[in-house]
A = this chain, B = another copy of it.
Amino acid sequence: MPRAVKRTWGTALLDRFQRPAQVVVTGFGLVILIGTALLASPAATTSGAPAGLLTALFTATSAVCVTGLVAVDTETHWSTFGEVVIAGLIQVGGLGIMTLATLFTVLVSGRLGLRARLSAQVETKTPSMADLRVLVRRVVLFSLMCEVVIAAVLTTRFAVGYGQPFGRALYLGWFHAISAFNNAGFALWPDNLMRFVADPWITLTIAAAVVAGGLGFPVMFELYRSWRRPSRWTVLTKITVVVTTGLLLIGTLIFLVTEWRNPRTFGPLDDADKLLAAFFAAVMPRSGGFNTVDISQMNPSSWLATDVLMFIGGGSGGTAGGIKVTTLGVLALVVWAELRGESRVNVGHRRLPESLQRQAVAITLMGVSLVAVSTYILLVLTPHSLDEVLFEVISAFATNGLSAGITADATPAGHILLVLLMFIGRVGPLTLGSALALRERTRRYELPEERIIVG
């Protein structure tokens, strides 16, 4: 072995990243299995009777994949031990996703979505192992710090505004901070967050947590470092911020228009609360998955808008699901270039490489195909209508967790399909996008290319 090098856990880890798909799939699968075992134990339920294996599997998958679809009501069915297990699974799943997504962003782009490299010494395209270790530490610290801040606000509100004893308020604040920042959508009330529809302390905090977690570490880090100089942002940050803002505005407007007079959703609210509820409903498809109005009572047109927003999802380097706003942004830029008859797709003095455009196409088409086939299967398996089934399928695929109400009474076959969708939706676009981008070896130079992660 003439070129043998000393193998540290570092080089071993780097080696593994040549096969990122396997690492991710195996890792998530293992955590789900452990979670299933824990949730299937008698200690995990309020009643003391062990939950069915499918219920445990469904809940564990939903937690690890930070989806938030529930087959049983979280508060009443699971004991405090069960709830802590769920929160733990969300934390492990969310941190795993954010760390992996950030690592992939760095490995794909050769940098951290920052003008400067992580350490000035590094001149090569591939970051060193030390860089990566620093990076992972930063991601974890950043996540935990965000969660602490969110938990503090929520705890204060639960204690002061709702008269909860401090211990209970802290527990509620901690659980929902983890659930919100990791875009998981689990809540400890049977009506999710509907009782807080007119409470901006709760809903705006949760919405901010969902957006922050869903933007992802690379974008959040760059915004933190240079939020005053948008012209110097990387393409990843530019696209993410522009598309996110656009979707939030359009979404808020659509829900205001469609639900304004609906007596079972926005109808009883005063105008300011309508705006708050519409904004919340526009944020959650990014893939927060909480709800402050009864989704099942929304108009079919609102469901359709939610379907589209859920399918798009959030940012590439965070805990959100869906095809990601970056993918949509790349596709929109392609269409725009076509309409203008330009032979290159440029954005902000950078050219989007053709391989990136193809990745965006591949991710979107595979997502559409997966949703279409799953919807067809679920339509055949269950008596529900297209709007209900489509909503639930997209929610599972985009690891969103909003529900039109059929998850609870789906058949076992339906539950298994949703479990598969959550899992594929979680690991699929991420690993696909990254694996594809890492695989390409040849590079050509015209305008300087800029690689961003999609999916």
Number of copies: 2
Is A436 part of the contact surface with B, judged by Cβ < 8 Å? yes
Is A357 part of the contact surface with B, judged by Cβ < 8 Å? yes
Task: Mark out the residues of chain A between 242 and 279 whose CB falls within 8 Å of any chain B CB in the assembled complex.
Answer: 254, 257-258
Q: Which of B258, B339, B386 contacts A387 (CB 8 A)?
A: B386
Query: Which of A303, A358, A442 lies at the interface centre, i.e. has the most chain B CB atoms within 10 A of its CB?
Result: A358
Is A116 part of the contact surface with B, judged by Cβ < 8 Å? no
Cross-chain contact B305 with A334 (CB below 8 angstroms): no
Cross-chain contact A376 with B343 (CB below 8 angstroms): no
Cβ of A394 to closest chain B Cβ, rounded Å:
12
Cβ of A255 to closest chain B Cβ, rounded Å:
12
A-B contact pairs, 11 of them (CB 8 A): A257-B380, A299-B379, A304-B376, A305-B376, A331-B361, A335-B362, A337-B358, A339-B362, A343-B355, A357-B357, A387-B387
Is A6 part of the contact surface with B, judged by Cβ < 8 Å? no
Task: Mark out the residues of chain A between 351 and 400 whose CB falls within 8 Å of any chain B CB in the assembled complex.
Answer: 354-355, 357-359, 361-362, 365-366, 372, 375-376, 379-380, 385-387, 390
Cβ of A451 to closest chain B Cβ, rounded Å:
14
Which residues from B are CB-within-8-Å of A448?
none
Q: Which of B305, B308, B335, B387 contacts A365 (CB 8 A)?
A: B335
Is A123 part of the contact surface with B, judged by Cβ < 8 Å? no
Query: Which of A303, A341, A372, A442 lies at the interface centre, i.e. has the most chain B CB atoms within 10 A of its CB?
Result: A341
Q: Name the residue of chain B whose CB is nearest to the CB of A365.
A: B335
Cβ of A154 to closest chain B Cβ, rounded Å:
34
Cross-chain contact B354 with A334 (CB below 8 angstroms): no
- Classify chain A: how many residues form its interface, as a range: 35 or more
Is A229 part of the contact surface with B, judged by Cβ < 8 Å? no
**Measured CA separation A376–B341 after assembly (Å):** 30
On A, residues with C-beta under 8 Å from B are 254, 257-258, 299-301, 303-305, 308, 331-332, 334-335, 337-339, 341, 343, 345, 354-355, 357-359, 361-362, 365-366, 372, 375-376, 379-380, 385-387, 390, 436, 439-440, 442
Cross-chain contact B355 with A334 (CB below 8 angstroms): no
Which residues from B are CB-within-8-Å of A387?
385-387
Cross-chain contact B301 with A331 (CB below 8 angstroms): no
Cβ of A74 to closest chain B Cβ, rounded Å:
29
Which residues from B are CB-within-8-Å of A376?
254, 301, 304-305
Q: Name the residue of chain B whose CB is nearest to the CB of A344.
A: B354
Known contacts A354-B354, A390-B386; is-contact A334 B361 (Cβ 8 Å): yes
**Measured CA separation A341–B435 after assembly (Å):** 9
Q: Name the residue of chain B whose CB is nearest to the CB of A328.
A: B365
**Measured CA separation A331–B345 after assembly (Å):** 18
Cross-chain contact B358 with A440 (CB below 8 angstroms): no
Q: Which of B304, B334, B361, B439 contacts A386 (CB 8 A)?
A: B304
Which residues from B are CB-within-8-Å of A380?
257-258, 299, 301
**Apart from the given pairs A343-B440, A345-B358, 7 other A-B contacts in the complex at a CB distance below 8 Å:** A254-B376, A301-B376, A332-B365, A334-B358, A335-B366, A341-B436, A386-B390
**Measured CA separation A242–B304 after assembly (Å):** 33
Which residues from B are CB-within-8-Å of A300?
379, 385-386
Q: Name the residue of chain B whose CB is nearest to the CB of A435.
A: B341
Which residues from B are CB-within-8-Å of A308?
372
**Measured CA separation A176–B304 after assembly (Å):** 38
Known contacts A300-B385, A379-B304; is-contact A338 B354 (Cβ 8 Å): no
Which residues from B are CB-within-8-Å of A304?
372, 375-376, 379, 386
Which residues from B are CB-within-8-Å of A337?
358
Cross-chain contact A362 with B338 (CB below 8 angstroms): yes
Q: Name the residue of chain B whose CB is nearest to the CB of A335.
A: B362
Which residues from B are CB-within-8-Å of A439?
341
Cβ of A297 to closest chain B Cβ, rounded Å:
15
Q: Which of B299, B305, B334, B390 contacts A362 (CB 8 A)?
A: B334
Cross-chain contact B335 with A361 (CB below 8 angstroms): yes
